[in-house]
Amino acid sequence: MTSSQEPIEIKTEFIRLDALLKFAAAVESGGAAKLLIQDGQVKVNRETCTQRGKKLYEGDTVVVEGNNYIIRGGAK
């Protein structure tokens, strides 16, 4: 389990999971994001997520390859 969360600031209402992984530099490409997600290696709010288009909102957490991200901001 990771001990700290890296905040990811968004300016929109939500961000898609695959876009978040690229934005956070957790992966180098959309293809890499797709493979990690399809292989069940990404958790959203502590549950394995295989939906690359999953919408993430403020307060959601994502864990991938030992990195823990939390969504901050977002348009209201």
Which domains occur in the chain, in start order?
A: 6-73 (3.10.290.10)
Biggest alpha carbon–alpha carbon distance for the chain: 33
Three-class secondary structure assignment of 9-75: EECCCCEEHHHHHHHCCCCCCHHHHHHHHHCCCEEECCEECCCCCCEECCCCEEEECCEEEEEEECC
In which band, very low, low, confident or very high, does the pLDDT at 4 lie, cut at 50, 70 and 90? confident
> pLDDT per residue over 27-71, tens digit each?
999 999 999 999 999 999 999 999 999 999 999 999 999 999 999
Q: What whole-number distance in Å separates Cα of residue 71 and Cα of residue 74? A: 8
The model's pLDDT over 23-32, given as tens digits with 9 standing for 90+, comes to: 999 999 999 9
